[in-house]
Amino acid sequence: MQLAERVERISVSATLAVLMEAERYKARGVDVVDFGPGEPDFQTPERIKRAAIRALDENRTKYTATAGISPLRQAVCDWHARELGSSYQASECIVTVGGKHAIFNAVNALVNTGDEVLIPSPYWVSYPDIVKYAGGRPVFIPTDAADGFCLRAERVERAIHQRTRIAIVNSPNNPTGAVVPPDEFAKIFDVCKRRGVWLLSDECYSHFTYGSAKPYSIASLPGSKEHVIIAGSLSKTFAMTGWRLGYALAPAPLVEAMTKLQSQSTSNPNSITQYAALEALTGPMDSVATMLAEYARRRTRILESLSAIPGITCAEPQGAFYVFPNVAACLKKNGAGRVTDSGEPDTSTVARELLERQHVAVVPGEAFGAAGFLRISYATSMERIEEGLRRLRQFFGSGS
Ligand SMILES: Cc1ncc(COP(=O)(O)O)c(C=O)c1O
């Protein structure tokens, strides 16, 4: 079938492909330990669900303004100011169908054919495809495991060329869990400002930080707003992935352009979800603290256990709910089938074998531009984590 060239440019999310394969195993009754999920294993808090039911009872079932109901746009700004120290007004906020949609709108509102968008690597799978769809060119900025995968301003500077339009920063990062410290973030901002490049900050995991890392937004930096686009989401923070509610904060003319685009594609995000989101953002943050405490416990356990497997090394993630171990040394031990023709570690094959032989689902590093690594999500119960770790030890420890 002849499809439009712009659709041929992109591919189906590699993380979804792995999850789908795991689902097929589960459907056959196989006991899969699923380290794949990119979503909280917690339920949406009761008060948020109640607000949705109330909205239904009150017949809040009509179209809303494209950029979202006014109280919600204001609530996003107030919440962001309270939690992350920014100072946006409702006219600088658009509510979107998830954080991905906020990024999609922003990129499509700014990128012309041939423009370059800087993407720190390893990267969340959707960035390159969103950029390609818009006709842009993804340019990857490497980050190093030895440096905790931290994005460095000097590398951003080096990657900027005449056609660079946007630099994406994702902190905490999916898949590495890396957090860019505020001083480095400020340096990255300075580079972007000086070189006339938009800084698109994906704050989807903002509230999941560990140790000395704290939730931080570059929009709290005085004078930054003019050059910054914030993409945020309620998906992870409030365990609301299926509700589909995100937002962007940006200068009003850009918000207007994104709203125009949204008006000709999805129109407003679901009306019921918007009322639920209003409750989420105006109520207490205790559910976030509960999730964070549990994630912290799991993270410690996984790191301790993985580091005891010979050949596996793992940078300590400062945020999100993933660990991203390097398993390349394990693969070299038994050679064939685990190295691609170009000599790269073949972690796609490893992930497939892990699923087939140990019934453990992980996402191979290739999906994030980082062969040799596996992404392990700890958004699953401690009991399942223990079982999964036992299977991982068996798989890697036995040299299989
Ligand atoms: C880094 C990152 N950004 C954005 C998103 C988008 O999430 P959503 O569209 O559910 O808000 C995700 C989801 O996995 C993510 O990992």
Tens of pLDDT along 141-161?
Answer: 999 999 999 999 999 999 999
Q: Is the dihedral of CA 341, 147, 37, 388 positive or negative?
A: positive
Q: What is the pLDDT of residue 200?
A: 98
> Does any ligand 1 atom lie closer than 6 A to the CB of residue 359?
no
> Does any ligand 1 atom lie closer than 6 A to the CB of residue 173?
no
Q: How far is CA 116 from CA 76, 125, 333, in A?
A: 30, 17, 39
> Does any ligand 1 atom lie closer than 6 A to the CB of residue 124?
yes
Q: What's the mean pLDDT when you consider all of the chain?
A: 94
Which helix (H) or strand (E) is 348 found in, with range?
A: helix 347-353
How many A from CA of 119 to the centre of ligand 1?
15
Percent of the chain with pLDDT over 90: 88
How many A from CA of 396 to the centre of ligand 1?
30
Q: Which atom of ligand 1 is the closest one to the Cα of 100?
A: 9
- 340 has pLDDT over 90: no
- 180 has pLDDT over 70: yes
Q: Which atom of ligand 1 is the closest one to the Cα of 174?
A: 1
Which residues neighbour 89 within 8 Å (Cβ) at sequence distance 6 or greater? 77
- 336 has pLDDT over 50: no
Q: What is the pLDDT of residue 280?
A: 98
Instruction: For ligand 1, pick from 18, 100, 125 the residue to mutate: most ligand atoms within 8 Å of CB.
Output: 100
Compute the average pLDDT of residues 173-183: 98
More confident: 310 or 173:
173
Confidence bin at 345 (pLDDT 50/70/90): confident
Instruction: For ligand 1, pick from 39, 95, 103, 174 the residue to mutate: most ligand atoms within 8 Å of CB.
Output: 174
> Does any ligand 1 atom lie closer than 6 A to the CB of residue 241?
yes
Compute the average pLDDT of residues 194-220: 97
The phi and psi torsions of 275 (rounded to 5 degrees) equal -70, -35
Q: Whose CA is nearest to atom 7 of ligand 1?
A: 99
Tell me how far apart the alpha carbons of residues 110 and 119 are, in angstroms, rounded to a whole number. Answer: 15
- 399 has pLDDT over 60: no
Q: What is the pLDDT of residue 333?
A: 57
Two structure tokens written together for 68 = 């979202």
Tell me how far apart the alpha carbons of residues 212 and 219 are, in angstroms, rounded to a whole number. Answer: 20
Which helix (H) or strand (E) is 97 found in, with range?
A: none
How many A from CA of 128 to the centre of ligand 1?
14
Q: Helical H runs in 58-169? A: 70-84, 99-110, 126-133, 153-159
How many A from CA of 244 to the centre of ligand 1?
10
> Does any ligand 1 atom lie closer than 6 A to the CB of residue 375?
no
- Each residue's pLDDT tens digit, 108-148: 999 999 999 999 999 999 999 999 999 999 999 999 999 99
Compute the average pLDDT of residues 346-359: 91
Confidence bin at 335 (pLDDT 50/70/90): very low
Tell me how far apart the alpha carbons of residues 231 and 225 are, in angstroms, rounded to a whole number. Answer: 13
- 164 has pLDDT over 70: yes
Tell me how far apart the alpha carbons of residues 284 and 389 are, in angstroms, rounded to a whole number. Answer: 35
Compute the average pLDDT of residues 296-318: 94
- Each residue's pLDDT tens digit, 35-73: 998 899 999 999 999 999 999 999 999 999 999 999 999
Compute the average pLDDT of residues 171-177: 98
Q: What is the pLDDT of residue 14?
A: 62
How many A from CA of 204 to the centre of ligand 1?
6
Percent of the chain with pLDDT over 70: 96
The SS3 assignment for 345 reads strand
Q: What is the pLDDT of residue 19?
A: 73
Measuring CA to CA, which residue among 246, 184, 250, 236 is closest to residue 206?
Answer: 236
Tell me how far apart the alpha carbons of residues 317 and 323 are, in angstroms, rounded to a whole number. Answer: 6
- 387 has pLDDT over 60: yes
User: What's the pTM?
Assistant: 0.96
Tell me how far apart the alpha carbons of residues 188 and 198 are, in angstroms, rounded to a whole number. Answer: 11
- 398 has pLDDT over 70: no
How many A from CA of 320 to the centre of ligand 1?
11
Instruction: For ligand 1, pick from 126, 129, 230, 368 the residue to mutate: most ligand atoms within 8 Å of CB.
Output: 126
Tell me how far apart the alpha carbons of residues 278 and 288 are, in angstroms, rounded to a whole number. Answer: 16
Measuring CA to CA, which residue among 227, 162, 161 is closest to residue 199?
Answer: 227
Measuring CA to CA, which residue among 301, 345, 327 is closest to residue 399?
Answer: 327
Q: How far is CA 113 from CA 13, 133, 167, 235, in A?
A: 22, 10, 16, 31
